[in-house]
Amino acid sequence: MNKDILLATGKERTVSAVWADVLSLFKGIVLIANVLPVLTGFWLAVHFSGTTFGDHLDVFILTMIGSTLLMAGALVLNNWYDVDIDTVMARTQSRPTVTGNFSLKMVLFIGIALSVIGQVMLFFTTIEAAIYAFIGWFTYVILYTIWSKRRYTLNTVIGSVSGAVTPLIGWAAISPTFHIVPIVLFIILFIWQMPHTFAIAMKKYDEYKAANVAMLPVVYGFKMTKRQIAVYVACLLPMPFYLYTLGTTFMVIATILNVGFLAVSIAGFFTKYDLKWANIVFLYSVNYLAILFVMMIIVTL
């Protein structure tokens, strides 16, 4: 391993400390959350195309590794660009870009290298999958991180596009995405990211305000944010019925999840403990997404 990585402030660092920095640099949990929809999109494309998983094993490997590397590259570039505001926000002050454990030049190189390698790998699947992947990368790195995040509350809407294309990447590696299932998956992910991100912005209100980041709660307050959360969650209600081809069991469970999500959202209008409520919304949203996309795979086994 590169000696420069293992050294910090003149002292040798433990492997576990370096690994923790790597996970922080790649935003490990966020990366996993974005890889899951790629897997689900790929699996469902195989299912609806009437082929078998084994028929596409080589494409699967290229798709998963390529998309993971590309998304990791985008997340690393986000860390590289945001180092100034990360020094202000308590939740990001342990990132290696802030602590200096990784040099910014090295981080920039890693971000570009991973992005290029991932994009090239996806070109060996289908052009359509590669295009969706590039759209996601460009939206997150250029339109969200560099252009809109610090300027406009619409940064959340713009950033949501990058996360929403992930199932399209997986599906397009097998079949064209002109199909109701991948389109609805895109819509679900786009809508879901709004209340999820708003909840985080409420939880970290003081930090975003100190860093002068134009998140919705910072600019328009908690009342507006609560209304926006409820509206977006309500938009999820009809989505399971467009996925009727996944079966009754899926539609019932997904609808129950949506109703529960809406109930939690509406509860925000009656609570005096906004930050505690925002944390509940955040936790519900994370589990909601994981259950929903894993369930899509289970019901089609």
User: In this predicted structure, what is the pLDDT of residue 203?
Assistant: 97
> Residue 163 and residue 21: Cα distance in Å, rounded?
23
Q: pTM for the whole thing?
A: 0.93
Encoded amino acid at 292, one letter? L
pLDDT at 91: 84
Other CB atoms within a 10 A radius of the CB of residue 83 amount to 16
pLDDT averaged per 10 residues, the chain (length 301): 46 76 90 96 97 95 98 97 93 90 95 98 98 98 97 96 98 97 98 98 96 96 98 98 97 98 98 97 98 98 93
Residue 13: predicted pLDDT: 65
CB contact set of 291 (below 8 Å; sequence gap of 6+): 253, 257
CB under 8 A, 24+ apart: contacts of 141-148 = 141/74, 141/77, 141/78, 141/81, 141/115, 145/77, 145/78, 145/81, 145/82, 146/81
Task: State residue 17's pLDDT score.
Answer: 85
Quick one: pLDDT at residue 273?
96
Q: Which helix (H) or strand (E) holds 169?
A: helix 166-172
